[in-house]
C-alpha cells in the first residue's frame, strides 16, 4: 500500500488515501481526477525515519505529505499547505510557509498576530 492524493482540476487535494498502485492504475476509483503519490515520511523536502524521527537517507517525495486543501505544484513537484497568513512567504526549497521573522527563543509559547505582524506570547 502507498498513499495517494486525489487532486481536482485546480490541483487542490480533495482526499488522501492508502491504496495500491494497481488500483490507481486500473481506475478502481473511477474518478476523472488525478491521483499523485505522497509519503507521510516527507516533510520540508526531507525524508524522516518513521521510528526515530531523524532525517534518513531515503529520497523525499514531493517535499511534503499531502493534506486536504493543499495544492499540488506541478512545476515544483510538491504539495504545499494553504498559506497561513498573508505576510508569510513560501520557501522554494522546503515548500513550507515561513513567517517574516522567527519567534523569540526564550522558552515561552508564541502565536502569530497577523494584524500587528508580530509574535505574541500565548496565554494559557
pLDDT tens profile 59-107: 889 999 999 999 999 999 999 999 999 999 999 999 999 999 999 999 9
Contacts of 40 (CB under 8 A, 6+ apart): 3, 50, 65
d(CA 27, CA 45): 29
Same domain, 5 and 45: yes
28 lies in the same domain as 56: yes
Cell numbers standing for residue 47: 525524508
pTM (predicted TM-score): 0.86
State whether 48 and 66 are in the same domain: yes
Listed in sequence order, the residues at least 6 apart from 32 whose beta carbon sits closer than 8 Å to its beta carbon are: none
Regarding whether 69 and 55 lie in a shared domain, the answer is: yes
Name the pLDDT band for 31 (thresholds 50, 70, 90): low
Check whether residue 93 and residue 71 sit in a common domain.
Answer: no
> Are residue 67 and residue 95 in the same domain, yes or no?
no
Say whether both 73 and 103 belong to one domain: no
- Name the domain count of the chain: 2
106 shares a domain with 45:
no
pLDDT of 30 reads 60
- If asked whether residues 78 and 96 sit together in one domain, one would say no
**For residue 27, what pLDDT is reported?**
73
> Average pLDDT in the 17-38 region?
80
**Together in a domain, 19 and 63:** yes
Domain span at 90: 84-124
Whether residue 28 is found in the same domain as residue 73? yes
Give the CA-trace dihedral at 50, 54, 58, 61, to 10 degrees: 70
Amino acid at each position: 500500500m502507498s498513499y495517494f492524493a486525489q487532486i481536482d482540476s485546480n490541483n487542490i487535494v480533495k482526499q488522501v488515501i492508502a491504496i495500491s498502485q494497481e488500483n490507481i492504475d486500473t481506475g478502481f476509483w473511477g474518478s476523472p481526477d488525478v491521483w499523485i503519490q505522497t509519503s507521510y515520511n516527507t516533510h520540508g523536502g526531507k525524508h524522516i525515519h518513521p521510528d526515530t524521527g531523524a532525517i534518513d537517507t531515503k529520497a523525499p517525495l514531493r517535499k511534503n505529505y499531502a493534506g486536504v486543501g493543499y495544492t499540488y505544484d506541478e512545476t515544483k513537484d510538491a504539495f504545499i499547505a494553504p498559506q497561513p497568513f498573508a505576510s508569510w512567504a513560501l520557501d522554494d526549497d522546503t515548500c513550507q510557509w515561513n513567517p517574516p521573522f522567527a519567534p523569540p527563543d526564550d522558552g515561552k509559547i508564541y502565536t502569530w498576530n497577523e494584524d500587528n505582524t508580530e509574535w505574541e506570547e500565548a496565554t494559557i
